[in-house]
Amino acid sequence: MTRIIASLAEISAPYDVLYCDLWGCLHNGKALFPQAVSALQAFRKKGGAVVLLTNAPRTKHAVKRRLDQMGLPEDAYDAIAASGDATQVAMLQGAAGRKLWHLGPGKDEDLFTLIPEWLKDQPPIERVSLEEAEGIICTGPFDEFNETPEDYRGRFLSAKVRGLKMLCANPDLVVDFGDTRIYCAGALAELYAEMGGEVLQFGKPYPPVYDTARSALAEKGISVDNDAVLAIGDGFRTDIKGAQAEGIDALFITGGLEAARFGADVEAPEAALLDSWLAENGLSPRYSMGRLR
C-alpha cells in the first residue's frame, strides 16, 4: 500500500536527490504551481539536489527557456534532463539513418540546431519528406491541438511497409495543456508499433533518460545511489513504472493525469480507490499525494 502524505517535507529527509516531472507536477503547460515550486526550493535549501526530469521532446536548453518564460526561479532546481536530449544523441549517432522525416511541430526545432559539442563531429542529419526518408523522428503531431493518431495511419502504413524505424522523443500518450488534453508523440509511436513498425523510445520509463539525469548530476559533481533518489510524477506509465524499473522510490501525484479516479477532492485522494487502482495496474509507489507541495 502506498502512503498518502500531505507534504514533501514529511518524507524528504532520507533523500538527497529528486527526479521531478514537469507537466502535471510543477506546471500545467500554462502556469506554474506555486506550492510545488516552494516544495522544491525547500528541498534544495536543506541540501538536496533537484533534477527536472521531463519527457519533453526538446533539449534541456529549450525546456529552460520555457521555464524561464513561466517564471520558475533558478533556485528551484539544479539540472534539467529531457527526453529530447536522449533522443538527440541517438538521432545524431544514426540510430534511424541520416535522412529523417520529422513528425512534429516547429517548436521542436532545437533538436536539429542545438548540437552538443561532443556530437558536432557526427555526419549531419538531413530532414526530408516521408517519401525520401530512411527513418522517422517523432516529437508529436504536427497540430497537437486538432490532430489524433488516426490522422497518421495512412502515412504510417507506408512507412511500416518500407521498414522505417521511428525514434520517439516523448513516450507520453497525452498531456494536459491547461484544461485541454492533447496527444503526445507516445500516442503516435504506440499506433506505429501496433501496426508493426519498429519504435525506439528514449524518455521515461525507458533507461536512456535516466542515464541523462545521472550525467546531468555528474556534471554538477553529484554522485548518488538509487536508494537516495525520489522520483516524483503523475504519469503511471512513465514516471511510476520508470522509477520501479530503475529501483527508485516514487511519489505519485494523483491530482495530475489520473485526478478523476480518486474521489471528488483532488487534494485528498481516497485511500481505498487509490490502493485498488494501483493494485490493478501493478504499481507500488512508496508515497502518493494530491498535489506536490
Task: Tell the residue number behind the cell numbers 518524507, with chain if given.
Answer: 11
pLDDT of residue 200: 98
Q: Report the distance separating Cα 209 and Cα 177, nearest Å.
A: 23
Name the amino acid, one letter, at 238. T
DSSP letter for 123, please.
Answer: P
Name the amino acid, one letter, at 115. I
Closest CA to 204 of 229, 174, 252, 236: 236
pLDDT of residue 179: 81
Nine-digit cell at 236? 503511471
State how far the alpha carbon of 190 is from the alpha carbons of 42, 166, 172, in Å: 38, 11, 10
pTM of the model: 0.92
pLDDT in tens, the chain (293 residues): 899 999 999 999 999 999 999 999 999 988 999 999 999 999 999 999 999 999 999 999 999 999 999 999 999 999 999 999 999 999 999 999 999 999 999 888 899 999 999 999 999 999 999 999 999 999 999 999 999 999 999 999 999 999 999 999 999 999 888 888 899 999 999 999 999 999 999 999 999 999 999 999 999 999 899 999 999 999 999 999 999 999 999 999 999 989 999 999 999 999 999 999 999 999 999 999 999 99
